Structures are given as structure tokens and as C-alpha cells.
Amino acid sequence: MSMLENRTYDQLSVGVHASLEHTVTERDLILFAAVSGDVNPVHLDEEFAAATPFKGRIAHGMLSGALISAAIACELPGPGSIYIGQEMSFLRPVRPGDDIRIELEVLEKLPKNRVRIATRVVNQEGKKVVDGVATVMAPTENVSVPRPQLPEVSF
């Protein structure tokens, strides 16, 4: 069984980094639309999306934001982190089938166990698709917990 382990505020330093990889699937778009209520046809309808400036369907921008949140919660600093804020710019579209990498890097340690973390998303071509900075309250105690197994969701 895989474990989730964190890094405490005291264990973090400027330059510490982590990443998470994800392939964007049709299932991701449908589940994200169902959870968020964002059923914009640019995400779900190929015919509609083909007539947009994107010339095809694109993933929800906040799907990338949710994957950044997952990387913070599960990778850096990891379990026990509290997401306080996020600045984010969407630079390029993410499309179904794209292989993306969420990259995190500690930029600054702040008072009260807070850290500023660069949050970048890069596609399979090495092009930055999302760029931002998160403010996170880092945990103060180390934890190691089993990674929960999610139930299979069918639709």
C-alpha cells in the first residue's frame, strides 16, 4: 500500500520541489463537470468546441487548479497542509489526452508556518499551461498515512 508523507514547516526550505503527473481523460472532464456544475460545451461538446478559437474541446481551467491542490495536499508539503490562497494564470489550453505535470517549488517561508509555493502546470510538449503561486500553511508534525483507495465511479 502506498503511503502519503508530509514535510513540516521546519523541513521546508526555498527551492524544495515536488511534482505530480496526470493524463487528462474524457472521464476527468465528465466527472469534473458533474461535481462543479460547469457544463460549458467547450469542455463537453466537440462540435461546439470546434467552432471556438480553441478549435476543439479543452479541459476546465479549474481541473488544473484541482490537480495543483492535490499536489499540495499529497506531495508538498503533503498531508496536514492547509491551502490558504492561490494566484493562477491560464496560459494555454489543456486538452483531453494531454499528459500534464504539476510542478511545485517552495519560493519563500513566511511567519506562522506559511510558505509560498510556485505552482506550474506543464504539458507533454514542455509548454507551461498554468502558472501561479499558492500560499499554504505547512504542517508542524510529520505524518505518514495510507493513501486512501477511491471507489470506482461508473457513469
Cα separations (Å) of 101 from 54, 94, 116, 123?
21, 11, 19, 6
For residue 147, what pLDDT is reported? 95
Write out pLDDT tens, residues 27-53: 999 999 999 999 999 999 999 999 999
Pairing type for strands 82-90 and 128-137 reads antiparallel
Give the pLDDT mean for 51-70.
98
Q: Beta strand 82-90 with 99-110: parallel, antiparallel or unpaired? A: unpaired
Distance CA 114, CA 125 (A): 33
Where do we find the cell 505530480? 20
HSE of 95, CA atoms in CB hemisphere, 13 A: 11
CA angle 56, 61, 62 (to 5 degrees): 145
Residues 6+ apart with CB under 8 A from 154: none
Spatial contact of 69 and 20, defined as CB atoms under 8 Å apart? no
* Cβ(43)–Cβ(33) below 8 Å: yes
155 has pLDDT over 80: no
pLDDT at 152: 87
Domains of the chain from N-terminus onward? 3-142 (3.10.129.10)
pLDDT at 154: 79
> Do the beta carbons of residue 143 and residue 80 sit within 8 Å?
yes
Reported pTM: 0.95
Q: How large is the angle between the packed helices 61-74 and 26-36, nearest 10 degrees? A: 90
